[in-house]
Structure 1
Amino acid sequence: MEKVIEIKNLTKLYKNGRGIKDINLDIYKGDIFGFLGPNGAGKTTAMKIMTGLIKPDSGEVKINGYSVLEDYEKAMQDVGCIIETAESYPFLTAYENLKQFSRYYKNIDDKRIDEVLEMTSLIKYKNEKPRKFSLGMKQRLGIAAAILSKPKVVILDEPLNGLDVEGMIDMRNIIKNLAEKEETTFFISSHLIHDVELTCNKIGVLYNGKMLNVDTTKNILKNYASLENYFVSEVERNGRI
């Protein structure tokens, strides 16, 4: 099994006592990893460190074998991500937005742009401007931009936020297809327990900045009626520290 993301003893504490403490994680090729925890548990902090937006107090993150801290460009060269909100240029069309993003990469032609618009069900809106889009459509455009360069790793912070049921199902299918067909590895944070259960094959629970447990969805559902039951029992077992 090829390790794609390695997180070792990652710590980042803020003055208010929030943050993450000593996180360890290994994610393998083709995994759809669900980083599950309530808002304020430290998920975004961890993901900002993983994508080089903030520096940790201590610890290390490697992506595809390269250290994010020491070899940032190499670590990020095969990574697509959306952290916090999917940004777009409101006055460019969906197509022009992706054209703009494609300049950061080599070898992305118009055919690839149409392909990702098709995958994210935006092809019929390709000449419309995102300022008219619903939150769900903006999210889809963000995903389209994140997968444009056929990255090996896609890091998504709350990608299902603001999507309606149909949008969630679409998004789930896009993620599963890419993991299966292109062996893309996904690292997805969410507080939506049910969606993580349906989307991810591996789940880590983050609570109060600490990793409580990491297991496969299959194993969890063998032992618990639902992911929610598992989550509650993990939190209880760890004494709501």
Structure 2
Amino acid sequence: MEPIIEIKNLTKQYENGRGIKNINLEISEGDIFGFLGPNGAGKTTAMKLMTGLIHPDYGDVKIFGHSITEDYERAMAKVGCLIEIAEAYAYLSAFDNLKQLARFYPDVDYQRIDEVLELTGMSKYKHEKPKKFSLGMKQRLGLAAAILSRPKVVILDEPLNGLDVEGMIDIRKLIQKLADEEKTTFFISSHLIHDVELTCNRIGVIYNGEILNVESTKTILRNYATLENYFVSEVERNGRLSSSVG
């Protein structure tokens, strides 16, 4: 089976020394892939490169076989994303924000807008304006926007930021539902180890801009008590973290 997302030698280096180096990954259909690493590890840089928001120094990303650098429109045609902060028009209602976005998708009608508001727990706030929303509510609306067009790939950068426990559980269930029932492929970055453990079926550890290892969650938890133990073991084994940590 051909990978849905194929990342080859992806590299982007900044003057401050941060960035990513030679990232190689393959993501299959229906995967919920967790990109796990601390703040500053290179997660957001990688996701901006994956979605064409910035250009790589070298390397490439292919989505459904189409290169982000050479065939951007086809590569992104079936992709929804939420990178960094969930942006919205502050003085439009939640519904009207999604209505503006729906103009770009001929198959998205008002029924679909109501559907994604329901899926993300935002139905009761559909007529309220984001300027009054908490960070968690903005994240929910951002996720509703990301799945509005029924994308086959969803790229989410720290999607659980600002959510309370109930919100985290709701969004986790939604992600798993879409992966199971609609074979939606998710690429999720996070520094929240426990939530990655509960949400993702495959995990890649990134540290100092480099991929340390990629493994299935089941295999990790067969060999380690928790994902946190695995993470610490990986960075210690690769000489990036002093043995005093953890």
Q: TM-score range by the shorter chain?
A: over 0.9
- Count of aligned pairs: 241
Q: Secondary structure at the match of 2:140?
A: helix
Please tell me the residue identity of whatever aligns with 2:111: K
> Which residue pairs with 1:235 in the alignment?
235
- State the Cα distance separating 1:64 from its structure 2 match: 0.9
Please tell me the residue identity of whatever aligns with 1:148: L
> Which residue pairs with 2:45 in the alignment?
45
> Which residue pairs with 2:55 in the alignment?
55
Distance 2:20 2:62 in 1: 17
**What does the per-residue CA deviation read over 1:95-128, in whole Å, with 9 as the maximum and x for residues that have no partner?**
0000001011111111111100110111111111
Distance 2:149 2:45 in 1: 25
**What does the per-residue CA deviation read over 1:35-69, in whole Å, with 9 as the maximum and x for residues that have no partner?**
00000000010000000010101101001110000
> Which residue pairs with 2:244 in the alignment?
none
> Which residue pairs with 1:209 in the alignment?
209
> Which residue pairs with 2:88 in the alignment?
88
Instruction: Provide TM-score, normalisation by structure 2.
Output: 0.97
> Which residue pairs with 1:26 in the alignment?
26
Runs of 5+ consecutive residues of structure 2 not aligned to the other structure:
242-246
Distance 2:110 2:182 in 1: 20
Distance 2:123 2:69 in 1: 37
**What does the per-residue CA deviation read over 1:5-32, in whole Å, with 9 as the maximum and x for residues that have no partner?**
0000111111111100101000000000
**What does the per-residue CA deviation read over 1:185-206, in whole Å, with 9 as the maximum and x for residues that have no partner?**
0000000000000000000000
Instruction: Provide TM-score, normalisation by structure 1.
Output: 0.99
Distance 1:48 1:109 in 2: 29
Distance 1:121 1:83 in 2: 20
Please identify runs of 4+ aligned residues in structure 1 that moved more than 3 A.
none
Please tell me the residue identity of whatever aligns with 1:205: V
> Which residue pairs with 2:148 in the alignment?
148
Distance 2:113 2:160 in 1: 22
Distance 2:3 2:103 in 1: 29
Please tell me the residue identity of whatever aligns with 1:98: L
Please tell me the residue identity of whatever aligns with 1:118: E
> Which residue pairs with 2:139 in the alignment?
139
Matching of residue 7 in structure 1 with residue 7 in structure 2: yes
Distance 1:62 1:68 in 2: 6
Q: Taking every aligned residue pair, what percent have the same amino acid on both sides? A: 75
- State the Cα distance separating 1:2 from its structure 2 match: 4.0
Distance 2:197 2:106 in 1: 36
- State the Cα distance separating 1:83 from its structure 2 match: 0.6
> Which residue pairs with 1:188 in the alignment?
188
Runs of 5+ consecutive residues of structure 1 not aligned to the other structure:
none
Distance 2:64 2:137 in 1: 30
Pairwise mapping of residues 56-205 of structure 1 onto structure 2 (< 5 A)? 56-205=56-205
